[in-house]
């Protein structure tokens, strides 16, 4: 498998599964990651958060309320408490009993079968150590060359870059996010900008290319939109249904 940098530099448009293949299996769970590999996506994207006792778990929201049978903030729960939750039944009964995985479990499941986009989730601006923990996990699993790390939080990206300057980073942004956050990226070397698809147009692409950024856009489930973004020259498309986008781009 090529490195993530070589893959982005190849000139084609890659397809990444969003939180695994979350259109086919409960998001950010092992069945979802197994499905994204089965579908043949170029890569997968997922979210990492810290528990109260400092473990890295794969969950998008700051609380467990919407995707489990429990409630409460991830940051206020221990790994043991999170392990008791059912993270699959909400999606479909066949996934009943599916648990929230740790980062290590996901990386063990994926191995070197796919490129990886790890989004570090952190709503706080003071250091909590998550960046160094993620960098250590990437290194232990020997996937430094297959991984890009992303975040909406520019301070997280700065701390991650300090911990692992050789691993590329991407700045996530969305029209609803405060516009001034991008100012905190000034002077920080980063390989990519990861915009919501609604922000991608010819002007944006000219700007990104002039600054040497790859463009990884989310969350694209419509094949016609996928084709339009490919033609604009995005580096990767992140999709809940990577098989649909793959079929449109390569069919």
Instruction: Say how far apart CA 32 and CA 22 lie, in whole Å.
Output: 6
How many Cβ atoms from other residues are within 10 Å of residue 219's Cβ?
16
DSSP annotation of 93 reads: G
3-state secondary structure at position 115: strand
Instruction: Say how far apart CA 22 and CA 5 lie, in whole Å.
Output: 25
Point out the catalytic residue in the list 18, 55, 161, 190: 18
Closest CA to 100 of 118, 88, 92, 116: 88
Closest CA to 103 of 32, 160, 50, 165: 50
Q: 30, 106 in Cβ contact below 8 A?
A: yes
3-state secondary structure at position 72: coil
Point out the catalytic residue in the list 55, 60, 173, 190: 60
Cα dihedral 133, 138, 140, 141, rounded to 10, equals: 140
Question: 190 an active-site residue?
Answer: no
DSSP annotation of 181 reads: G
Question: 214 an active-site residue?
Answer: no
Three-class SS string for 191-211? CEEEEEHHHCCHHHHHHHHHC
- Residue 214, H or E segment: strand 214-217
Closest CA to 174 of 238, 226, 127: 238
Positions marked catalytic? 18, 60
């Amino acid at each position: 498998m090529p490195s993530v940098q070589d893959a982005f530099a190849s000139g084609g448009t890659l397809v990444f599964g969003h939180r695994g293949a979350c259109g086919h299996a409960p998001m950010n769970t092992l069945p979802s990651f197994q499905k994204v590999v089965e579908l043949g996506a170029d890569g997968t994207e997922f979210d990492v958060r810290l528990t109260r006792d400092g473990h890295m778990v794969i969950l998008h929201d700051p609380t467990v309320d919407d995707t489990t049978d429990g409630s409460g903030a991830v940051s206020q729960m221990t790994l043991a408490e999170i392990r008791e939750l059912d993270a699959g039944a909400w999606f479909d009964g066949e996934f009943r009993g599916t648990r929230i995985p740790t980062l290590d479990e996901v990386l063990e499941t994926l191995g070197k079968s796919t490129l990886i986009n790890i989004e570090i989730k952190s709503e706080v601006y003071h250091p909590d150590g998550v960046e160094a923990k993620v960098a250590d996990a990437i290194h232990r699993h020997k996937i430094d060359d297959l991984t890009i790390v992303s975040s909406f939080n520019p301070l997280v990206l700065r701390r991650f870059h300090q911990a692992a300057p050789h691993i590329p980073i991407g700045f996530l942004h969305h029209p609803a996010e405060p516009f001034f956050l991008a100012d905190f990226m000034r002077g920080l070397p980063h390989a990519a900008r990861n915009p919501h698809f609604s922000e991608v147009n010819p002007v944006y692409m000219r700007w990104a290319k002039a600054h040497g950024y790859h463009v990884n856009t989310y969350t694209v489930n419509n094949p016609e939109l996928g084709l339009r973004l490919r033609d604009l020259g995005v580096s990767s498309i992140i999709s809940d249904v990577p098989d649909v986008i793959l079929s449109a781009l390569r069919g």
